[in-house]
A = this chain, B = another copy of it.
Amino acid sequence: MRVNGQRRTTIKDVAEAAEVGVATVSRVLSGTGSSSPATREKVMAAAARLDYRPSALGRNLRRQRTGGIGLLIPDITDTFYGRLADGVLTCAQSAGEPVMIGTTGDDPEREAELIGSLLEESVERVIAVPCGDGEMWGPAFRAGLSVVFAERPVQGRENVPSVVTDDRTGVRTAVEYLAGLGHRRIAFLARHGQAQRVRAFRESLAALRVPVDDELIVYAHASRDSAYAAAAGLFQHRPDLTAVLAGGNILGEAAVLAAKELDFRVPRDVSLIMFDDVPWAELCSPPLTVISQPAQDMGYRAAELVLREGRRSRTVMLPTELIVRGSCGPRR
């Protein structure tokens, strides 16, 4: 309900004011087709005078698609995804594209709903941190929209362009670093869905001839509570562990907290290393040694990919970096 009677100025108003046809206005303003300098001038002047802004609604309907980018992430509260989203927004905003965001909470069902919602809006470009299997994405591909996966690849959708971290190398670097300090009972605190990292963890241990202890690989859901429960359980069940590798910043946070509460001293009693560098890692004492991931860059690259829909693009793998601070020490 429009409060004041002001109808929106349309292309028709501009056409009348400039004394030309609507088609001409459209051509001039969108830069397509040809037009004489004189007409161009008139149209521009009229548009400026009337403060005309084309309506995305009309354009979208005619073009049969909504501009902009859909962005699906598990949790906007997790700074990793926050930085990823920031990268997407930076790229999208500099391209003038609006971004529709949704959080899945790592729940395939919510993911499916959000995909449906994007379809309904005719959004045709989506960046997603997928949480379901490839199943949910069937309708999306059938509808012809272009998807880029971020952070995680999806089994069975290998041909979908993705931007992921080099999990194998990241995990291997961490494990080798810890093993080099003498650790052999190394735990991995993982989030469900980090199968890739767990596999890399096993392989890295095997390569170093360290026996894999299944009890030292524990899983948590995405929430802070679940992460804390997993971490605390790990410390209590297996007080003989000497090092913990956390698969993400929420898990790392939980590990630090659990160690603190249960009086494990870091790094004397236990060495800690965490995936993802976050600002507070420097604030802990001791400051946390981390495997940093270029989250912001990941988002930016994903946005670039999805905007240059034209060329076929394979998946991009971004490097990690071991940042040694103070949370790892020699085996006690």
Q: Which residues of A contact B (CB under 8 A)?
A: 1-4, 6, 8, 53-58, 60-61, 64, 66, 68, 75-77, 79, 82-83, 85-86, 89, 93, 96, 98-103, 110, 114, 116-122, 142-144, 224, 253, 256-257, 260, 278-280, 282-285
Contact check, B224 vs A253: say whether CB atoms are below 8 A apart: no
Asked whether A119 and B53 contact (CB < 8 A) given A101-B89, A103-B93, A283-B284, the answer is yes
Please name 6 further chain A to chain B contacts, defined as beta carbons within 8 Å, in addition to the given A76-B76, A77-B86, A283-B284, sorted by A numbering.
Answer: A8-B143, A61-B61, A77-B82, A98-B100, A100-B101, A260-B283
Closest to A295 in B: B77
Q: Nearest chain-B residue to A71 (Cβ)? A: B101
Which 8 residue pairs are nearest across A and B when measured between Cβ atoms? A280-B280, A57-B61, A56-B121, A101-B101, A285-B285, A61-B61, A2-B144, A82-B82
Copies held by the complex: 2
With A2-B144, A61-B61, A96-B117 as contacts: A77 and B83 at CB distance below 8 Å: yes
A121: chain B residues within 8 A (beta carbon): 56-57, 98
Q: Decide: B280 and A120 in contact? CB cutoff 8 A.
A: no
**How distant is the Cα of A186 from the Cα of B54 in the complex, in angstroms?**
53
**Bound complex: CA A253 to CA B79 (Å):** 15
A36 to chain B, nearest CB (A): 27
User: Which residue from B4, B77, B96 sits with its C-beta under 8 Å from A79?
Assistant: B77
Q: How far is the CA of A60 from the CA of B123 in the complex (A)?
A: 14
**Assuming the A-B contacts A116-B53, A120-B54, A284-B284, are A102 and B89 also in contact, with contact meaning beta carbons closer than 8 angstroms in the complex?**
yes
Minimum C-beta distance from A140 to chain B (A): 12
Task: A54 to B86: give the CA distance in the assembly, Å.
Answer: 31
> Assuming the A-B contacts A98-B102, A101-B99, A279-B224, are A89 and B76 also in contact, with contact meaning beta carbons closer than 8 angstroms in the complex?
yes
Asked if B98 contacts A117 (CB within 8 A), the reply is yes
- How far, in Å, is A101 (CB) from chain B's closest CB? 5
Contact check, B56 vs A122: say whether CB atoms are below 8 A apart: yes
Distance (Å) between the CB of A294 and the closest chain B CB?
A: 14
